[in-house]
Chains A and B, each alone.
Chain A
Amino acid sequence: MKARSLTATFLLAASLGGCSDSEPIPPEEGTNAPIGELPERRATVSGVVYDPEAFFLTVLNFPGEVTPPPALFEDTPYLLFSAIPGATVRLAGSGSAVSSGASSFAGIWQVEGVPLDATTPYLAEAIPPAGPVEFFTEGAPFPLPPATHYPTTSLRPIQVNVNECTSQTAPMVGSAGALDAVAQYLTGEGTPTTVEQLLDPARTGGVVLFWVHPPSFFYDYFVIPLDSVVGETSAGTLLSVNWAPPGVGPPGQSPMGFFASPDPTGFFGYYALVLPPGLTTPVTVTFKDTYAPAPGEPPGPYGVRPLVIAPVTVQPRPGVSVQRVFAYPDPSLPAPPVDPLEDPPPPPLDERWLCQP
């Protein structure tokens, strides 16, 4: 018999019978999940670091009649032109802080090995890269002036009691925006102040920048400016921050075009709170939507105005912090009638990745 014939026959026999094993393999009943000691549970936290003032100016100056919505979406051009590469994000909580590596070209950062904490939330501090921030500039609708960026704390708490917190935002501001406008305002008021002095714990109790927005359509990623909001604080100095094209606004305009005003009514919901040095007690800041609709005016896209804005409590901290504040429809207004025959909706999505307290 030819060797080739023998080989072919052997292969056929083996394939027919599947009998390469001398002992039958026991039928698979399924695999019990192997049990083993696991390392301590740690979370992964990730998000984007960006300059909210650069974002805002990109929105404001974006060309075309139909523009993308002002939202912190993954591929929006606004984030492209305001993302900060090379930054690190430090998560500070009740224990020792943990930091990310350098953020990517798109401002993406990720912190691994974050200890879980069901009680004390973390705050994200965006720390600038060594040297100036290098924004993506090709085709940018608003040329950003040179600036020094500062470590900036986001006051949106991150409650890390699940394994993953994603899409967290870490804003970082520089010297060419509201901080400069505030420093110029204080100087104009008779207290010569530089941005560095503004952030010096010996000179102030820190600066908090508030962005007040109407309700967001998708989590808290729509950051639409809200006009006609009046702010008031229980301590420190609250200034509204407004904007005009550089060189067009009033005296005291920053290189980006921002200027500060003691008028508590903001044009687009941007405010700066300068706290006195040494203050340790929490500060309450209240915002009120003063928009008065004309008789018969239909409700806007966010519902009937004026909107309601919950008071904000701020724990003083040195340096600069940023807080986004969202208004919401007046809960005292009559809600749409509930159809008692409405079918049960699908179960809610698992949104623990938001990591909100």
Chain B
Amino acid sequence: MISPFKSLLLTLPVLALITGCNLFDTSDAEGTRGRGATAFDPYDSSASGAISLSLLSFKGCAILPNGEPVTKGGLVLPNYPDACLNLNAAIPLTSAILPVPPSARMNVKPGELYFLREFSAVDLAHEVHTDYNDRRTPAAWARLQSDFKDLDWSGLTVGHDDWKVLDPGAMQRETYYENAAWMNSDTDTLLLEVLDADGNVRTSETYKRTDFMAENAATGHTRVSFVVAGLAPPRFPDDPVPVKAEGREAINYLSTVKVSFANSINPFKSFTMPDLRGEGLIRLTWSLMPLKPFLFPVTFVPENERPDSCFEMGPNGLPTDVAVRCGFGLKQSVVVAPPQNGRFLMPGESLDFVVALQDGDGHALHPRDTMPSFNDYMGDFSNGLAYFNSNMLINWRDTSASESGFKVVGPLQDLKVVNGAHTPPYFAFPTGVEPAYYIHPAAAYRPGGKSHRPNTRYTVELPPDAKPGTYALLLKGHRSYMGERLNRLDPFFFQVGQAEPTKYPNQIGNCQVCHNGPNSLSNLHHGVSVDHVETCKVCHYDESVGHVSDFMHRIHISSRKYAQNKGDCTLCHLTRESTLRPSLIACAGCHPGTHGNEYKHLEFENLASAPNIYGNCANACHVTTPPAEHVLPLR
């Protein structure tokens, strides 16, 4: 009898011949360059084999990705709260904010194939631990009182002490607690069970902790930390006296435990959502907290019971008024008005475009001229389109998972990392770090701002001295729909001043060496393809939103999954030049505290107040002798 393994070996070449594949060719024959196998991309929504499922929990209550707490409805769930603290209620969530009966519902599609993309759960204590110098009590709260007290906290240490300038003159200090046994575990599992309204398990799947690629605090995932925000710059390193920053109402204190595993890299661990109607439950049991499963009440909504709330797209690439049922997924597209000369925009001309955000099946999420309002988003009436939600950022400690908008930059050949300036040395609209959000976070405070339905038409004026080349219109999209939570960042190129295209500087890349298949960059964080990884820096040059040279190093140096030589710069840095610009912010991600407190005061300086952490250390000390342990690209 032939063993199954032998059978497999024998069959593979046959199939390879039949399908014309060269299985041993690791070059780019697939043509996807890190965007994942075309045969099965689990993050490609309805075009893929399964729908990614995100399960979020806050203080024991399931929440929707917009932060609204989910009611248990008619289910008898003694261990699910009748009242939930709504994280959208206020910033900070002081004890004056009381839990209220929740009303949101999490809908899922019966009969659909899902896989668990993300599990995140948060507990926090706002304005409870208010002794600036006490680093013990927040940790004690995490170990002994928080929702995660049942975890094995042995080995806990105080880790990175991160100072960040939020606004000029206003700082945040975040102390991380690291290395607890549960943080370093890699043998634990997540048992996902779907139950009917009577409590019967109808299907289940078990995920390994190692099935999830992302759990790094730098990307908004697992963290245990104590934050003190709204601080004036300390007078000196280790200054024990906290002073309120000018213009801030108060110093705010926040202790957080966030457990977050995201981005499943095992596409075969899918399950069919049971063919049920009405209410049910998803129960997630983490093997490290076996007695306290996380509960996610759901409503099974079959396709034919969903309203026709999306719109057909027209042949002109714009939405029509024809209503159609929404599907999963997120596609972004634009239509740009023709340049005056019919070939390319001239300096001083305007980029005039219409945005069309669609589901994965190409159905518009909005009518032609307007998008849903912020209130539509918060009420779960936006067809999943998500907007900037400050509460999720600050209370939930999310990182950029709902801030839909756009940015225009160029020319591509001039894009470079910005160090110590508010504005880049190339054209950018908006000129600061933040994109142009479809709904600006401040709009929530202006009369009618939360009900305004944004225009889909945008016009960006190019400067009279715009340099010629290829420019990028970057669309940043976020959607959460029936359990699926997606981020997409898509560039659309246009020419200015010349017809000949230009390219990125090609300073960094190669991400697809590790990030391929389901693990490709298109499926991670913002969802930008590896082909356009050089666009990260056009927003991330201020530590208030993360500086690319900081978090990119920090993510990989602290990763338990990054299997490459961490001193080998050549893997990601394609040019020697790009490695020879050391700064305190670029190096501290891997080498915290190397200089002790000698340059600590530079962390307290504003972005454009050189000398600061963005200053070039190469010319100061490291010019002739790059660190010997670093493997640099050849000259």
A residues engaging B (CB < 8 A)? 1, 5-6, 8-10, 12-22, 24-38, 41-44, 46-48, 72-74, 79, 104, 106-110, 112-113, 162-164, 166-169, 218-219, 221, 343-347, 349-350
Say yes or no: is B28 at the interface (Cβ < 8 Å to chain A). yes
Asked whether B432 lies within 8 Å of A38 as measured between CB atoms, the reply is no
Asked whether A33 lies within 8 Å of B336 as measured between CB atoms, the reply is yes
Asked whether A36 lies within 8 Å of B335 as measured between CB atoms, the reply is yes
Q: How far does the alpha carbon of A204 sit from the alpha carbon of B280 in the complex, in Å?
A: 68
Asked whether B317 lies within 8 Å of A36 as measured between CB atoms, the reply is yes
Q: How far does the alpha carbon of A246 sit from the alpha carbon of B337 in the complex, in Å?
A: 60
Residues from chain A with a CB closer than 8 A to the CB of B511 are none
A38's partner among B28, B352, B449, B452 (CB-CB below 8 A) is B352
5 A-B pairs closest in CB distance: A25-B31, A18-B37, A19-B21, A33-B492, A167-B446
User: Which residues between 525 and 555 of chain B lie within 8 Å of chain A, taking CB atoms?
Assistant: 529, 531-532
B369's partner among A13, A42, A162 (CB-CB below 8 A) is A42
Asked whether A36 lies within 8 Å of B316 as measured between CB atoms, the reply is yes
Asked whether A5 lies within 8 Å of B4 as measured between CB atoms, the reply is yes
Asked whether A37 lies within 8 Å of B338 as measured between CB atoms, the reply is yes
Asked whether A41 lies within 8 Å of B11 as measured between CB atoms, the reply is no
Say yes or no: is B558 at the interface (Cβ < 8 Å to chain A). no
Q: How far does the alpha carbon of A162 sit from the alpha carbon of B352 in the complex, in Å?
A: 11
Contact string, B495-539, partner A, CB cutoff 8 A, digits 1/0? 000000000000000000000010000000000010110000000
Q: A28-B529, A167-B448 are in contact. Are A347 and B430 (CB under 8 A)?
A: yes
Asked whether B316 lies within 8 Å of A17 as measured between CB atoms, the reply is no
Residues from chain B with a CB closer than 8 A to the CB of A343 are 168, 606, 608-609
- The segment from B12-20, B77-85, B170-178, B184-192 found at the interface with A is B12-20
Give the tally of cross-chain contacts (CB within 8 A): 216
Asked whether B494 lies within 8 Å of A32 as measured between CB atoms, the reply is yes
Asked whether B15 lies within 8 Å of A13 as measured between CB atoms, the reply is yes
Q: How far does the alpha carbon of A166 sit from the alpha carbon of B445 in the complex, in Å?
A: 12
Asked whether B337 lies within 8 Å of A35 as measured between CB atoms, the reply is yes
Asked whether A9 lies within 8 Å of B15 as measured between CB atoms, the reply is yes
Q: A1-B7, A25-B30 are in contact. Are A13 and B451 (CB under 8 A)?
A: no
Nearest-neighbor residue (CB-CB) of B450 within chain A: A74
Residues from chain B with a CB closer than 8 A to the CB of A221 are 446-447
Contact string, B419-433, partner A, CB cutoff 8 A, digits 1/0? 000110000001110
Contact string, B24-37, partner A, CB cutoff 8 A, digits 1/0? 00001111110111
Nearest-neighbor residue (CB-CB) of A36 within chain B: B335
User: Which residues between 438 and 477 of chain B lie within 8 Å of chain A, taking CB atoms?
Assistant: 442-455, 457-459, 472-473
Q: How far does the alpha carbon of A28 sit from the alpha carbon of B30 in the complex, in Å?
A: 11
Asked whether A106 lies within 8 Å of B369 as measured between CB atoms, the reply is no
Contact string, B362-404, partner A, CB cutoff 8 A, digits 1/0? 0000000110000000000000000000000000000000000
Taking the closest CB of chain A, its distance from the CB of B213, in whole angstroms, is 17
Asked whether A41 lies within 8 Å of B447 as measured between CB atoms, the reply is no
Asked whether A347 lies within 8 Å of B431 as measured between CB atoms, the reply is yes
Residues from chain B with a CB closer than 8 A to the CB of A9 are 7-8, 11-12, 15
A17's partner among B30, B317, B422, B447 (CB-CB below 8 A) is B30
Say yes or no: is B414 at the interface (Cβ < 8 Å to chain A). no
Asked whether A10 lies within 8 Å of B15 as measured between CB atoms, the reply is yes
Say yes or no: is B615 at the interface (Cβ < 8 Å to chain A). no
Most buried by B among A25, A36, A168, A169: A36
Say yes or no: is B334 at the interface (Cβ < 8 Å to chain A). yes
Asked whether B19 lies within 8 Å of A73 as measured between CB atoms, the reply is no
Residues from chain A with a CB closer than 8 A to the CB of B459 are 41, 162-163
Say yes or no: is B44 at the interface (Cβ < 8 Å to chain A). no
Q: A73-B445, A346-B422, A347-B423 are in contact. Are A44 and B353 (CB under 8 A)?
A: no
Taking the closest CB of chain A, its distance from the CB of B141, in whole angstroms, is 30
Asked whether B19 lies within 8 Å of A34 as measured between CB atoms, the reply is no
Q: A29-B531, A167-B443 are in contact. Are A347 and B30 (CB under 8 A)?
A: no
B493's partner among A26, A32, A37, A168 (CB-CB below 8 A) is A32
B449's partner among A6, A35, A74, A113 (CB-CB below 8 A) is A74
Residues from chain B with a CB closer than 8 A to the CB of A107 are 448
Taking the closest CB of chain A, its distance from the CB of B33, in whole angstroms, is 5
Taking the closest CB of chain B, its distance from the CB of A268, in whole angstroms, is 21
Taking the closest CB of chain B, its distance from the CB of A32, in whole angstroms, is 5
Taking the closest CB of chain A, its distance from the CB of B509, in whole angstroms, is 12
Asked whether B432 lies within 8 Å of A19 as measured between CB atoms, the reply is no
Asked whether A41 lies within 8 Å of B352 as measured between CB atoms, the reply is yes
Asked whether A74 lies within 8 Å of B448 as measured between CB atoms, the reply is yes
Asked whether B37 lies within 8 Å of A15 as measured between CB atoms, the reply is yes
Asked whether B531 lies within 8 Å of A30 as measured between CB atoms, the reply is yes
Q: A9-B11, A41-B459, A163-B457 are in contact. Are A27 and B443 (CB under 8 A)?
A: no
Asked whether B492 lies within 8 Å of A346 as measured between CB atoms, the reply is no
B453's partner among A37, A48, A110, A347 (CB-CB below 8 A) is A110
A344's partner among B352, B422, B472 (CB-CB below 8 A) is B422
Q: How far does the alpha carbon of A350 sit from the alpha carbon of B437 in the complex, in Å?
A: 11
Asked whether A34 lies within 8 Å of B333 as measured between CB atoms, the reply is yes
B452's partner among A34, A41, A79, A166 (CB-CB below 8 A) is A166
Nearest-neighbor residue (CB-CB) of A162 within chain B: B459
Taking the closest CB of chain B, its distance from the CB of A48, in whole angstroms, is 4
Asked whether A19 lies within 8 Å of B606 as measured between CB atoms, the reply is no
Q: A15-B267, A74-B446, A344-B608 are in contact. Are A38 and B455 (CB under 8 A)?
A: no
Say yes or no: is B354 at the interface (Cβ < 8 Å to chain A). yes
Nearest-neighbor residue (CB-CB) of B38 within chain A: A18
Most buried by A among B38, B39, B333, B432: B39
Taking the closest CB of chain B, its distance from the CB of A64, in whole angstroms, is 15
Asked whether A33 lies within 8 Å of B473 as measured between CB atoms, the reply is yes
B432's partner among A1, A33, A347 (CB-CB below 8 A) is A347
Asked whether A108 lies within 8 Å of B448 as measured between CB atoms, the reply is yes
Q: A18-B37, A24-B31, A163-B457 are in contact. Are A73 and B447 (CB under 8 A)?
A: yes
Residues from chain A with a CB closer than 8 A to the CB of B267 are 15
Instruction: Give 26 CB contacts A-B under 8 Å.
Output: A1-B11, A5-B4, A9-B8, A9-B12, A12-B12, A13-B16, A13-B19, A14-B37, A16-B23, A17-B23, A17-B37, A19-B19, A19-B30, A21-B38, A24-B30, A30-B492, A33-B336, A35-B338, A36-B337, A38-B353, A44-B370, A72-B447, A108-B452, A164-B452, A169-B447, A349-B442
Asked whether B39 lies within 8 Å of A15 as measured between CB atoms, the reply is yes
Asked whether A28 lies within 8 Å of B531 as measured between CB atoms, the reply is yes
Asked whether A30 lies within 8 Å of B30 as measured between CB atoms, the reply is no
Residues from chain A with a CB closer than 8 A to the CB of B436 are 350
Q: How far does the alpha carbon of A31 sit from the alpha carbon of B448 in the complex, in Å?
A: 36
Residues from chain B with a CB closer than 8 A to the CB of A350 are 430, 436
Residues from chain A with a CB closer than 8 A to the CB of B60 are none
Told that A13-B11, A33-B336, A36-B338 touch, could you supply 19 new A-B pairs with CB distance under 8 A? A18-B32, A18-B37, A20-B39, A24-B31, A30-B472, A30-B493, A33-B334, A34-B333, A36-B337, A44-B452, A74-B447, A79-B447, A106-B448, A108-B448, A110-B453, A166-B449, A167-B443, A167-B446, A346-B432
Residues from chain A with a CB closer than 8 A to the CB of B531 are 27-30
Taking the closest CB of chain B, its distance from the CB of A5, in whole angstroms, is 5
Asked whether B446 lies within 8 Å of A34 as measured between CB atoms, the reply is no
Taking the closest CB of chain B, its distance from the CB of A329, in whole angstroms, is 19
Q: How far does the alpha carbon of A37 sit from the alpha carbon of B28 in the complex, in Å?
A: 37
Taking the closest CB of chain B, its distance from the CB of A169, in whole angstroms, is 6
Residues from chain B with a CB closer than 8 A to the CB of A1 are 2, 7, 11
A19's partner among B7, B39, B443, B458 (CB-CB below 8 A) is B39
Asked whether B28 lies within 8 Å of A17 as measured between CB atoms, the reply is no
Taking the closest CB of chain A, its distance from the CB of B144, in whole angstroms, is 36
Asked whether A46 lies within 8 Å of B15 as measured between CB atoms, the reply is no
Q: A31-B493, A44-B455, A350-B436 are in contact. Are A38 and B32 (CB under 8 A)?
A: no
Residues from chain A with a CB closer than 8 A to the CB of B432 are 346-347
Q: How far does the alpha carbon of A300 sit from the alpha carbon of B70 in the complex, in Å?
A: 47
A167's partner among B20, B447, B473 (CB-CB below 8 A) is B447
Say yes or no: is B491 at the interface (Cβ < 8 Å to chain A). yes
B448's partner among A12, A16, A48, A162 (CB-CB below 8 A) is A48
Nearest-neighbor residue (CB-CB) of A4 within chain B: B4
